[in-house]
Amino acid sequence: MTFRLIAALLLILPMTAHAAEPVPATVVIAFDREGVRPIIVEGVADRESGREVEANDPVRIASISKLIMALATLRLVDEGKVALDADVSDYLGWQVRSPNFPDAKVTLAQLLSHRSGLRDRAGYVIPLGESLQEKLAEPEAWYADAPPGEAPFEYANLGSPVVATVLEAATGESYDAIVERTVFGPLGVEGCLNWIGCSEEQVKRAVVLYRDTGEIARDDPADLPPNCTVPVAEDSECSLENYVPGTNASVFSPQGGVRIGMMDLAKIGQQFLKSVDDNFLTDETTMALFFSIFERHEGQDFFCSYGLALQSIDNSSGRCEDNLFPNGRIRIGHAGEAYGLRSGLWMDVRAGTGIAYFTTAVPPRQSAEDEGGFDPREIALMERAQRLLSEQSGD
């Protein structure tokens, strides 16, 4: 009887271990001006297959996509295709106006800086087959008490489809092609928007996003090519064959739809460390980008210093809840949060170093009022990464 009991336990124990909660996919990449290197690579990218995550597996980086959009915009400024302070109506061919302030122009600089008066109360996803122009005609889409440029800072995803559509109208190119031509291609990285343009090999390595409950949130096989990967209106066909650039770039999810691996994202981060030394941006646009973060926003607990889709964190004044790194050094970059994922691209320009990371299955915020700020798991992850870097350097 004793032998049979032991044998039964040996059969049960492996099953119990296998049933343990999978480690959430997490990748942290450190970089400087000279190179990039993985610091933490762990967890399961796809729980169905058991595939473990690798350092450059592509993942939806959420709002870091806005920083890539800003780089694409500035590259087009340098090409003379757009101007930051021009009326975006001039590019689109129809009037973009706040209903209460019909004489106040809306500019790319305002949109990138979340000072255009746009807000997300009317929603910000405009599916293929619906109209961006009609969405911007809704009064709920606008701050009612001040004109664009004077309206208080309000983080709004709706501004991103407007920026991307303006870039399309100015160039005649689709937004995904613009980002590939101006950012991904020149920097030698593989990335795409809503999986459009990603290779079959990249799609096979997609990181599935899970909620903390284990529920699939995004990018499982049903959410990948050849299935439909863009938002589509009811009764509309999921095809971009007849899409006209400059009409509704929301289909590319410019506010959060970039898929890219952390090794490649780190290469984009390197550009912020090298920008004063090469010609990716002109001196004029480089200065416009970096000086934009000096604008301070009163009444913000997280976005205290935010410019052209570029944020400054870890400010030592203590007036802002934006502390992520244990050493408190000021960093610039952008955070991402969506579908149980937290991500970040942060550069310490003075030290010439940076971090690109994501982690998955993060619990949601506890209330609608709990906006901004870093999750305790992110903070612990950065403490761990900094400790590993210190050990590796012998400090």
Q: Closest Cα to residue 124, out of 95, 163, 172? A: 163
Q: What is the rounded distance in angstroms from the CA atom of residue 353 to the CA atom of residue 126?
A: 38
Per residue of the chain (395 residues), give pLDDT as tens: 454 544 454 444 444 444 578 999 999 999 999 999 999 999 999 999 999 999 999 999 999 999 999 999 999 999 999 999 999 999 999 999 999 999 999 999 999 999 999 999 999 999 999 999 999 999 999 999 999 999 999 999 999 999 999 999 999 999 999 999 999 999 999 999 999 999 999 999 999 999 999 999 999 999 999 999 999 999 899 999 999 999 999 999 999 999 999 999 999 999 999 865 578 999 999 999 999 998 888 888 889 999 999 999 986 566 788 889 988 789 999 999 999 999 999 999 999 999 999 999 999 986 555 566 899 999 999 999 999 998 887 66
Nearest CA to 252 out of 28, 37, 66, 8 is that of: 66
Contact in structure between 348 and 77 (CB atoms under 8 Å): no
Give residue 10's pLDDT. Answer: 45
Q: pTM of this prediction?
A: 0.92
Helix segments in the chain, DSSP class H: 2-18, 64-79, 89-92, 108-112, 132-136, 159-171, 175-179, 185-187, 200-204, 262-274, 283-292, 376-393
pLDDT digits (tens, 9 = 90+) for 20-32: 789 999 999 999 9
Which domains does the chain show, CATH number per domain? 22-393 (3.40.710.10)
Amino acid at 67: L
HSE of 319, CA atoms in CB hemisphere, 13 A = 9
Contact 261, 38 (CB under 8 A): no
Look at residue 277 in the predicted model and tell me its pLDDT.
59
Whole-angstrom distance, CA of residue 33 vs CA of residue 292: 23
Q: Which of 62, 68, 60, 124 is nearest to 308 (CA)?
A: 68
